[in-house]
Structure 1
C-alpha cells in the first residue's frame, strides 16, 4: 500500500470516529447516564472522605470520646447555667456551681452503689457457692449420673487450663490497668472540656463558624445551632427513657427479691443510653442475679419483666417520645446503633444516634436554605411582594448590580 493510500485510510478512520461539527462527544451520552456519573463520583468522594475521617478519629479516640461526652453533658447542663445567669449569678460562678453539683450527684450515687455492692456481694457469693453445689448434686444424682471422680477430673482440667493461660490472664490484668489509666485521663479531660464548653461555648462556636467562607458562614452558624438543639433534645429525652427503663427493671427486681437492686438499677440506667438494646443487655444481668440467688422460676419472671420493659421502650418510648424529639425512625436508630457498634464498639453504639440526629437536622436545614429566613441570624421577616415586582433578595444570596439605568443614561 502506497503512502498516499495509507494517509487516506488514516483520514477516513479519523473522520469515522470524529464528532460532527458543532457538537461535543458529551452530547451523545444519555442525560440519565450523565446524571448518574455525576452523582457517582460525588458519592464516592463522600464515602472516601468519611472513611478517612473515621480512620483518623479511631486513632485519636482518647481525645475524641471525652470531647463528645463533654458535648453531651454540656447540652444537658446548659439550661441550668442559663437559669443561674438570669438570676444575676456571674458566668464563672454559675458554671462552677453547675459542674460541682453535677459531680456531687454522680459521686454520691456511685458511693451509694459501692456500699450496696460491698454489703450484698458477700451474701451473693455464698449463694453462688450454694448454687455450684446444687449443680454438682444434679450432675451426680441427675440423668447424667456422673461420679465424684469425674466431677473432680473436670474441675482439675479447668484449673489446669487456667494455669496454662496464666500469661494471658496477667497480660489482661496489665491491659486493664492501662485501660484504667486511660479512663482516668479521659475523665479529667471530659471535666476540663465540660467547664470550657459551659463557660465559653458560644464564643468557641462563633470562632469555629468564622473559619468557614464568608458566603457559607450564615449556613454553618444556623446549621450548628439547630444541630446543637437537636442534640440537647436527644440527651434530655434519652435520660427520660433511661430513667423509665431503670425504674421498671429495678422495681420488678425489688418485688421478686433479686439482690443488689440499687447497683442493678444504676447499671440499667447507664446501659439504656444505648437505645433499644442497652436496657435488654443490662437487664440480662438482673436475670443472671435472679438465677444465682433465687432459682430458675425467679429468673424466668425477671426475664419476662426485662422483655416487657424493652417492648415498652421499643414500641412506645422510642417511636412517640424519641421520634418526636429528634425526628428519627426506630429502624434508623437500630441501624445506627448496629453500625456504630461495628465501627467503634461501645462508644460507637453510644454516640451513633446523637450523631445521626445532628446530621439529620443539619442536612434538612441546609437543604431547605433555612438560614435565609432564620430570625436568629438577622434575616428579615418574609414579605409578600407586590404584584408586578420582583421579590427582595434574601440573606445569603448575591445579586448582580442593576446597570440598565446607567447604560441607558450613557
Structure 2
C-alpha cells in the first residue's frame, strides 16, 4: 500500500469517528431536554399536571397544595373542613324540609281521606285481637270481622244514647242551679278578697255582654260552616266503617301487596319494620283504652259519692279525653270541676279537683310507666310536642293521632336502622338450587 493511501484511510477513520461522537452527543442532549421539559411543567387550576422538581426554579407558579381525600378540586381544599360539612348538612336538610312541606300540603289537601283512614287504623288495632279470637273459634274471616265491627258500633251507640238521655234529663236541674251558682260567685267577688263593688261587677258583665254581641256573627258563621260540613262528616264516618272492615279482614294481604311493590332487597326489612310498628300501634291503643277506663272510673266514683249531676256523662267525657295523652283527661276533669262548682258549691268543687289531680298523678307515675311504658317508650317532651303539632295541623283529630303516629315512626325507624337479618316467617318456603 502506498503512503498516500495510508494517509487517506486515516483521515476517513478520523472523520467517521468524529461523526459518531457528534451523533452520540446530539442524542444525549435531546433526551435531557425532553426530561427537563416533562418535569418542568407546573400544575395549576387552568393546566393540570405534575409539579416541578425541587431543583427546578419556576417563576409565576403557586405552591402545590395537598388535596384531602374528601375534596375533589382545589376550590374544595381552600374551604375549611367544618364549613364543608355544615354546607353538606344544610342542603340535605333543605331537601328534606321541602319534601316534608310537600307531604304536609298533600295531606292537607286530602285530609278528608287521610283522617278517616288514620282513625280506621286505630280502630283496627283495637279490634284486631277480638277478630283473632273469633278466627280461632273457626268462624269465617268475613263473619268474624262483621260480628266484631257490629258489636263495637252497638257499644258506642248504646253509650252515646245513655249519655245523651242523662244529659237531657238533668239539664233543667242544672240550669236552675247554675243561676244560684252565679249569684254565689257574685257574692264571693263582693265579699271575698277582691272586694268588687256593684258598679265594677255591672261593668264587667256589660263588657262580657258586648263581647258576646260583637262575636255573635262569628259564632253563627261557625255554626253554619259546621252544618255545611255535615256531608263531609257522614262521608268520613262511612269511610271509617268500610276501611276498618277491610283492614280487619284483608289487612295482611294488603300489607303483603304493598311490600311486593318494593325492591327485593328491601322487602325483608320493610316487612319486619311494618309488622313491629303494627304491634306497637296495637299495644298503644289497648294501653290507652285501659288507662282511659281507669281514669273514668276513678273520677266517676268521686262524682257519684258527692252526688254531682251528670256523673255518667262526665265519666264518659273523661274516658274520651284520656285518648289525648297528658292534657286530655285534665281538660275533661276540669269540666267535671266546673259542674261541681255550679251545682254543689266551692267545697265540693275543690274535692273533685283534688280527685282529678290525684287520678292524674296515679296515671302519670304508676299507670303510664307500668302499662304504657311496655307498649311504647316515648319521652314526655316528644309527646307534648307531637300533641301541639297535631292540634296546629289538624285540630282535635291531630292531637288524637299524633302520639300513636310518633310511636309507630319510632319503632319503624329503629327497626330499619338496626343491622340485623329479620327472622324468617314460619310459612316461608325456601327453594334450594341443586348442584350441577
Aligning the two structures, in what range does the TM-score lie when normalised by the shorter sequence?
Answer: 0.7 to 0.9
Give the match for residue 408 of structure 2: 358
With over 3 angstroms needed to count, the CA separation of the structure-2 counterparts of 1:368 and 1:135, relative to structure 1, is closer
Give the match for residue 376 of structure 1: 425
Give the match for residue 339 of structure 1: 389
In the alignment, is the contact (CA less than 8 A) between 1:276 and 1:313 conserved in 2? no
TM-score for both structures, normalised by structure 1: 0.81
- 2:328 is aligned, of 278, 285, 304, to 278
Matched, 1:349 2:371: no
Alignment of 1:2-401 (within 5 A): 15-16=61-62, 24-25=72-73, 26=76, 34-135=84-185, 143-146=195-198, 162-370=212-420, 372-376=421-425
- When the two structures are aligned, how many residues end up with a matched partner? 370
Could you tell me how far apart the structure 1 residues matched to 2:166 and 2:86 are?
62
TM-score for both structures, normalised by structure 2: 0.76
With over 3 angstroms needed to count, the CA separation of the structure-2 counterparts of 1:156 and 1:31, relative to structure 1, is closer
Could you tell me how far apart the structure 2 residues matched to 1:280 and 1:62 are?
29
In the alignment, is the contact (CA less than 8 A) between 2:181 and 2:341 conserved in 1? no
- The offset of 1:241, in angstroms, is 0.9
- The offset of 1:303, in angstroms, is 1.1
With over 3 angstroms needed to count, the CA separation of the structure-2 counterparts of 1:14 and 1:111, relative to structure 1, is farther
- The offset of 1:283, in angstroms, is 0.5
In the alignment, is the contact (CA less than 8 A) between 1:373 and 1:379 conserved in 2? no
- The offset of 1:373, in angstroms, is 3.3
Could you tell me how far apart the structure 2 residues matched to 1:52 and 1:13 are?
56
Partner of 2:160, secondary structure, is: helix
Deviation per residue, 1:2-59 (Å, 9 max, x gap): xxxxxxxx99999539866998434676666555544443333223222221222122
Cα RMSD (Å) of the superposition?
Answer: 3.1
Give the match for residue 27 of structure 2: none
With over 3 angstroms needed to count, the CA separation of the structure-2 counterparts of 1:204 and 1:166, relative to structure 1, is same
Deviation per residue, 1:107-142 (Å, 9 max, x gap): 111111111111111111111122234445567778
Give the match for residue 38 of structure 2: none
List runs of 5+ in structure 2 lacking aligned partners: 1-45, 48-57, 431-436
Could you tell me how far apart the structure 1 residues matched to 2:107 and 2:150 are?
30
- Which protein has the larger Cα radius of gyration, Structure 1 or Structure 2? 2
Partner of 2:139, secondary structure, is: coil
